[in-house]
Structure 1
Amino acid sequence: MSPLAGILYPPETDIDGLLATVARHLAERGVRVGGVTQLRDPQKGLSVVDLGRGTIRAITQNLGPLSTSCKLDTSVMADVAGDLERQVDAGLDLLILSRFGIREIEGGGFRSLFGRAMLADTPLLVGVRTEHAAAWAAFHGGLGTDLPPNEAAVLAWAEAIPATAGTGFVSGTASS
């Protein structure tokens, strides 16, 4: 089983809820989980939730009601990415990222974290909308695993990866 997995999901799927649930279940078993999910608020915009700390950070900026520019605050995204890199460097059993989306396809966003996690032998789980499946496949070049948006399947993957990735947990429980 590959230590790199993408959950391929249709747009109506609550991928952030699924990822948060998986992270919570694994953390309850002693797995050191880090990463982020997204949170949308009609008034505040888009935020990320740090899965390890529970903190919430806005990642969009208010450009005014007539703006057609991207509202993503790239400086905040860079700060979040830097924090996640430090978490990987400090030692995680699993890094979860909410999306492999347009920014990552274009070479930005959290894409650098994929390489950082792989170099640190940290398994990585990411949400991938089905419309981005071809770009995801091209990105991982056969080194990744595609998962359905199903909690049991994702947890089964997480429990199977230690033999491949050398993480600190076996069969879903942490080892000392």
Structure 2
Amino acid sequence: MRLGFVTLKGRGRIDLLLADVVQRLEARGCRLDAGALEQSVVWVDETLEKAELLVINKFGKREAEGKGLSGSIARAFERDIPVLVGVNGLNLPAFLEFSDELAQQLPPEAVQIVGPCLGVQIPGSGGSDRG
């Protein structure tokens, strides 16, 4: 997986799912304050060279506009750092356009997301299949 995304219906369900994935991966990170988003972009970009995986809990309005963490996602992708992004239905069309449809939709189950984050292919999932 180079660029994977997951989408779920229901407020907060993506955050809970990605928190579970991060916990299973024993990853360290932080929760972003919406007011500090632009400052966080600088921090993410400065630490990207050490990253093994970039998890963005929400491809939101700012990213859909080409702002926020969209540049960080692109830079990680260019560096072959796997990227996992939570995308809600409202922003899914913008995300697919942003990703040039290279993103792989992952099943909304933490146990099935961990493998691709670690470089393990899920049987029956290939490329940009959005099922």
The two structures have a TM-score, normalised by structure 1, of: 0.61
SS of the aligned residue for 2:55 comes to strand
Query: Where does residue 55 of structure 2 map in the other structure?
Result: 96
Cα deviation per residue 1:132-172 (whole Å; 9 max; x = unaligned)? 2222221112211112321122113223359xxxxxxxxxx
Alignment of 1:11-50 (within 5 A): 11-27=10-26, 33=27, 36-37=30-31, 48=32
Shift of 1:34: 5.7
Q: Work out the number of aligned pairs and report it.
A: 121
Query: Where does residue 145 of structure 1 map in the other structure?
Result: 104
Query: Where does residue 157 of structure 1 map in the other structure?
Result: 116
- Structure 2's unaligned 5+ residue stretches are 122-131
The two structures have a TM-score, normalised by structure 2, of: 0.79
- Check the 8 A contact 2:58/2:86 in 1, yes or no: yes
* Greater strand share, structure number: 1
* Greater helix share, structure number: 2
Question: Quick one: structure 1 residues 10 and 139, their matched pair in 2 at CA, closer, same or farther if it must change by over 3 Å?
Answer: same
Greater RCO, 1 or 2 (C-alpha within 8 Å, sep 6+)? 2
- Check the 8 A contact 2:56/2:84 in 1, yes or no: yes
- Check the 8 A contact 1:4/1:145 in 2, yes or no: yes
Query: Where does residue 8 of structure 1 map in the other structure?
Result: 7
- Check the 8 A contact 2:4/2:106 in 1, yes or no: yes
- Structure 1's unaligned 5+ residue stretches are 28-32, 38-47, 49-57, 60-72, 163-176
Query: Where does residue 106 of structure 1 map in the other structure?
Result: 65
Between the two proteins, what is the percent identity of the paired residues? 26
- Check the 8 A contact 2:7/2:14 in 1, yes or no: no
